[in-house]
Every structure is written in C-alpha cells, then in structure tokens.
Amino acid sequence: MAGGTIAVAIAFALLASQAAATAPPSADPATTVEGLTVVAPKAEQAKLPDLVERFVQAHSVPSRIGQLSRWGGAVCPQTSGLPPTFDAYVSARVKLVAAAVGAPIDKHPNRNFPCKPNLLIVFTTEPQKLMDDVRRRHPELLGFHYAAQAEQLARVEHPFQAWYMTGTRPEGGLVEPDDEYHQTPGGTAGSRLTVRLESQIMAVLVVVDSNQIVGHQIGAISDDVAMLSLARGTFPKGCSDLPTIIDFLNPDCPAGPDPSGLSAYDVAYLKGLYSTNPELFARAQQSEIGSHILRDLKGYDAGAAKP
C-alpha cells in the first residue's frame, strides 16, 4: 500500500510538470472562494421519483466489487495548466464543495507540511497527448482495467473527463488498490455474515480541454471539475432530465448561458453519496441516495418513493 501511494505521488508530480499552460477563461478570478450556492430544482412532483432514479443511475458507476466509490481519505487537490490565481481558485473551490457535501478534507491544514496531492486537475490544450502519456507511463491512474483495455480507457471524448484510482478496504483492514495484480480482499460487500468491504477513491485525475473552455466562466468550470472530482459518474448521451453541471459544454445539450454552478440535484446527490452506508451494494446505495435527494429537496414524501 505504501509503495502504491508513493508511485501515485510521483506520477502526479510528473504529470503536473507536463501540463501545458493555456490562456485563462475570460472572467477575472475572485480572490476568495464564495459559499456554495445551487440552482433551484424545477420538476413536476409526480414525475420526480422516476427522474431522480435516472439521475442517480447516470451519476454513479459501480466499482470492481459492485459498490459506489467515495473518498476515504482527505481530498488534496492540485491544479495546473492555468495561471496561478486560477489554479488556486479551482483547487479552493473543490475543497469548499467537498466540505459542504461531507467528503473528507484536511480540517486543520499546516502550511509548513502541505498535504500530498491525490487529486490532480490538469488544464491542457492537448488532452489526448497527455492521456497517451498517462497510458504508457502511469497506467495505474486510469483506474481498474486490464492491459488490453488501456487504449480505449485513455481516450479523451469530453471537454471535462476524469479517471479514478480506486481501492477496496475490508472491515478493520487497509485499503488495497484495485488493479489486475491485486486480488480483492476476502469478504463481501453488504454482508452481515462475512468481512464487509467498501470501495474507496484513492486518487483522481481530471483533465480539462482548454480549447473548449475559452470564454466560459471560471465558476461553472470549477464546479464541473468538483463534481467529477468527488463522484465517479457516467457520460450518457443526451441531456439529463434534471439540471446538472455535468451537462455543461455537453454538445448534445442546447447552447445557452453558463450555469451558475452545481445544481440542487448535484449537491443533494453528493451529500447522499457521502452519508450512505459505504458497505452496501451499489443498488442499495443508489436507493438511499435517491431518497436523500427527495428529502433534501423537500416537497415530496420520500417514504413513497420507489426503491
């Protein structure tokens, strides 16, 4: 485990040095990070349970052991590729969102001993070139896969894209990386009869195509990055039925003004993810998250929601 952590830290340092600097977005960055605000939801109450269920499905990808992964240790972002002020803004925004939704962060950071980056956010004008290098030199950052899958997995297809290095932690034990060289620890997710397991995010690589964000607001950009940094979701074709920051710059969605930030559904999803039992199977976790969203947004009897 220690060796794996060191390898990831070295890989992050190398990738940070390779990130290509680009022109910043047109908006001037603020000197401080404002509080977390969300877009009010607009959906017919009668249809909301089904819409939320589809929303949760699209925002969650089961791990190697059939669970939803979440950060187990404190999130430590490092942003590169933008001017220093913008880099700092993006990292600070991710930490603010993490704190607001219950993800673990370092609550008492020491300036003399900064945290070791486990979340690398790279803005680059050559995202595919970067990911080709990751595939060749740091394949562990692509997440769990077999060698034959690496080329397809490293393909850049979206303006914002993320790769997740996950691990499996047995009850009372240490997290083991999910890769083809490590066996899954003994036990079963959601079991009351054997050692219980949970899936944790160990490291995340977020790559942003700088060519496609020119002229867009740093707030929307930062919140899209934050959503990808804290939850492992999918990129379904078409637009979501409910507002989500993931649709920002989605070519399948109608063009319009930049979103003001994370939607209420995005925030409720993240809060649900970080408050549910991490040892349940994905389906049970998704059901709890859906119920949390309905309760959090109010106006609906969550007890009547479909499981």
On the question of pLDDT at 123 being above 90, the answer is: yes
Q: Name the percent of the chain in helix, strand, coil, to the closest 5.
A: 40, 15, 45
CA–CA separation, 2 vs 21, rounded Å? 32
Residue 3 has pLDDT above 50, yes or no: no
Residue 70 has pLDDT above 90, yes or no: yes
Q: Please check whether residue 130 is in contact with residue 19, taking contact to mean a CB–CB distance below 8 angstroms.
A: yes
Give the pLDDT mean for 167-192.
75
3-class secondary structure, 291: helix
Average pLDDT over residues 174-185: 78
77: which DSSP letter? E
Three-state secondary structure call for residue 39:
strand
User: What is the rounded average pLDDT of the residues 18-40?
Assistant: 55
Residue 58: pLDDT above 50? yes
Alpha-carbon distance of 146 to 280, in angstroms, equals 26
Rounded to the nearest integer, the mean pLDDT of the chain is 84
Interval 210-229: pLDDT, tens? 999 999 999 999 999 999 99
Given a cut of 70, is residue 37 above it in pLDDT?
Answer: no
Integer Cα distance of 79 and 119 in angstroms:
8
44 confidence band (pLDDT: 50, 70, 90): low
Average pLDDT for 237-250: 91
**Domains in the chain: boundaries:** 2-29+42-304
Question: Hey, what are 95's tokens?
Answer: 């930490």
Model pLDDT, residue 295: 92
Q: Name residue, tokens 């187990």.
A: 72
Reply yes or no on whether the pLDDT at 251 is more than 90: no
User: What pLDDT shows up at residue 185?
Assistant: 65
64-68, 168-172, 271-275: range with lowest mean pLDDT: 168-172
3-state secondary structure of 79: strand
Measure CA of the first residue to CA of the last residue in the chain; give whole Å: 37
Main-chain dihedrals φ then ψ at residue 175, nearest 5 degrees: -70, 135
Using pLDDT thresholds of 50, 70 and 90, give the confidence band for residue 11. low
> CA torsion angle for 42, 48, 54, 58 (degrees, to 10)?
30
Kindly tell me if the per-residue pLDDT of 232 is higher than 80: yes
What gap in Å lies between CA 83 and CA 62, rounded to an integer?
Answer: 36
What is the percent of the chain where pLDDT is above 90?
55
Q: What is the pLDDT of residue 114?
A: 83
